[in-house]
Amino acid sequence: MSAYASIVFDMDSTLSGIEGVDWLAARRGPEVAAAVSSLTARAMAGEIALDAIYGERLSLIRPTAAELAALARAYTANLAAGVGTALQRLRGAGIALALVSGGIREAIAPCAAVLGFSDRDIHAVHVHVDADGGYAGFDASSPLVTQHGKRDIVHALALPRPVMAVGDGATDAALRPVVDAFAVYTGFVRRAAVVCAADCEVQSFDDLMEIVFR
């Protein structure tokens, strides 16, 4: 029997080993890659607020439609071991699943669909492209471009309780006031400050299943 009625997942470095914005930045050369990676690491460790760096990173990268499609393929090619089987088991047990990410929806959605998430269960940030496929900005009004945006989204979803959140970063740890447990996923990256904020640590989806179905 499951200990939770709902589970909220992060995408980057949780369901997939890709950090999407960093992956895109690597296509812009070593200087941009280093600058963006540093900003991402500091935000995910809770050293700076996501609000302060979200637009800055995208303005450095200016991702195209073709690059977002390539990122979607990279997400799918780098899924966490056992994630597909684990999600099937969770759904089979009647657990409600949601994907809440500060990443780019246009890249995340195709991979999320492979994992069985419906469009209504995917919450991420829209990036706009023009008629030629060039970068044309992002949805700056999305709560998910802020440090506590995931908390606002999950609170509004009113998921069946008890709710567990699973993720790797500070924005996932910020969910703790609106969920019943936060499991930090460290299968790809381990951030000490986030581990300290978590109720439990899981290094694999097998670990997660042991906690959910204990």
**Cα separation of 33 and 30, whole Å?**
5
Does 12 qualify as catalytic in the annotation? yes
Annotated catalytic residue, options 10, 22, 168, 207? 10
- Strand 181-185 relative to strand 122-125: parallel, antiparallel, unpaired? unpaired
Nearest to 165 by CA among 130, 200, 120, 134: 200
C-beta separation of 62 from 136 below 8 A: no
Widest CA span in the chain: 52
Annotated catalytic residue, options 12, 22, 168, 207? 12
Does 199 qualify as catalytic in the annotation? no
**Tokens encoding 115:** 């994992």
CA atoms within a 13 Å half-sphere pointing along the CA-CB vector of 204: 6
Kindly report the CA angle at 38 between 31 and 189, in degrees rounded to 5?
A: 125
Residue positions annotated with a catalytic role: 10, 12
